[in-house]
Amino acid sequence: MEEKLTPKKIVELLDKYIVGQAEAKKAIAIALRTRYRRHKVKGDIKDEIMPKNILMIGPTGVGKTEIARRIAKITNAPFVKVEASKFTEVGYVGRDVESIIRDLARISYEMVKQEELKKVEDKAKKEAEEKVLDILVPPLKNQSIYNNEEEERLNRTREKFREKLKNGELDDKIIEITVSPQRAEQPMPFIEIAAAPIDEIDSSLRDMLDNLIPGRKKTRKVTVKEALKIFQEEEAQKLIDKDKVKEKAIEKASNDGIVFIDEIDKIVSKSSSTSGPDVSREGVQRDLLPIVEGSSVNTRYGIIKTDHILFIAAGAFHQVKPSDMIPELQGRFPIRVELKPLTKADFVRILKEPKNALIKQYKALLETEGIEINFTDDAIEKISEIAEKINKETENIGARRLHTLLEKLLEDISFEAPDTDKQITIDAAYVENKLANIVEDRDLSRYIL
């Protein structure tokens, strides 16, 4: 799959969801392909090839987050999105930057675990069927006192029930089951050791604590359908090698992980500032530096080296410039791309072209009420024109303005949907009628749109 993800193919896939921003897409595509190339490199030089981290600069709502989110799906890579403003310098109350990598490890573990569970799905399903059949047709406890005829009769009965089970004839039958929860899957109680969060506790200590917590068997009354699902999950958990899952998860996070740091400009202050809260902002930058440069972070699944994790940072940079970042951190984001503000033409394309276009979403939602809603081309033009106008006159929130406009535009239709006409056409006149007053009143549009 990775081999087929050429830079052009990556851009093509991004184009299905994101309008414009060709420069940013190209930079991302090259960074991802470089990562694939590194995997193919042989010898010691492989470890020396560092990822080309990217800094995306542009106003809100132009596609920065969506680009990062989509590439994680395209590459099936562990992905974490964080807001830089949520972190505090070491020594202050708040999240520390290493928690980013712990989150990445957790997501990677879940991804690998689901992959491994998928591999044993068929075997787990068969085991679950046998366990349910043991409840419906209990096996002979002491076979020595029974003759072959009775045993054959029991087997015939069991096979009849097996057929009914596969055909779904017993789905609603209530049975009593005993579940043995896996200790490793039970939530750990919150423990603090020397003020360290639980994720930082040494893994061997965690294993010791796990062993001290006994697994409790629970008896429950459920339908056969529910029992099959419960037993299948339980059997699948037994069939996978959790140590192997942890090992794969660490490798996947270390080599394929993507960290998206949004609002990085919020932890940057003007170079002339030397006191007050700005000092703490610089502290967060300095704390981020070793993670981005390459360091080892202890997680509950093992140690992750961050050297080859791809970091993508983004910010509007209205009040500050990228050059106001501390020099060391600047140097760790060698690729910089500027995303352009969206125009009326972009809004028209956003409403019509992407696979997840807003108009397509509203159509699908109202179809559930049996309503067919159609937007004329002049209506889409009008919505786009209004979005551009409001963005220019108030706060520019990019494509997010379309969400607000469409919600306001379709407010009455959504409210009256169950009792309204089954075919509705939205034209420019309807848009004008619904939104004109709010658009003209700038003070009102500030709060409503």
pLDDT winner (highest mean) among 154-168, 274-288, 430-444: 154-168
Q: How confident is the model at residue 1 (pLDDT cuts 50, 70, 90)?
A: low
Q: How confident is the model at residue 193 (pLDDT cuts 50, 70, 90)?
A: very low
User: 293: phi > 0 → left, psi -120 to 50 → alpha, else beta; which?
Assistant: alpha
Angle (CA) 210 211 212, round 5°: 90
Residue the block writes with tokens 């379309």:
402
Between 215 and 185, where is the model more confident? 215
3-state helix, strand, coil in the chain (%, to 5): 60, 10, 30
Task: Name residues whose C-beta falls within 8 Å of residue 418's C-beta, 6 or more positions apart in sequence.
Answer: 369
**162: pLDDT strictly greater than 60:** yes
pLDDT confidence of residue 192: 34
Between 409 and 206, where is the model more confident? 409
pLDDT confidence of residue 166: 86
**105: pLDDT strictly greater than 50:** yes
Across the chain, mean pLDDT equals 82
pTM: 0.76
* Bridge pairing between strands 302-305 and 296-299: antiparallel
Q: Which of these, 256, 258, 260, lies nearest to 313 by C-alpha position? A: 260
As a whole-number percent, the residues of the chain with pLDDT over 90 amount to 31
Residue the block writes with tokens 């209530």:
174
Burial per residue of 50-66, b for 16 or more beta-carbon CB atoms within 10 angstroms, e otherwise:
ebbbbbbbbbbbbbbbb
d(CA 243, CA 46): 26
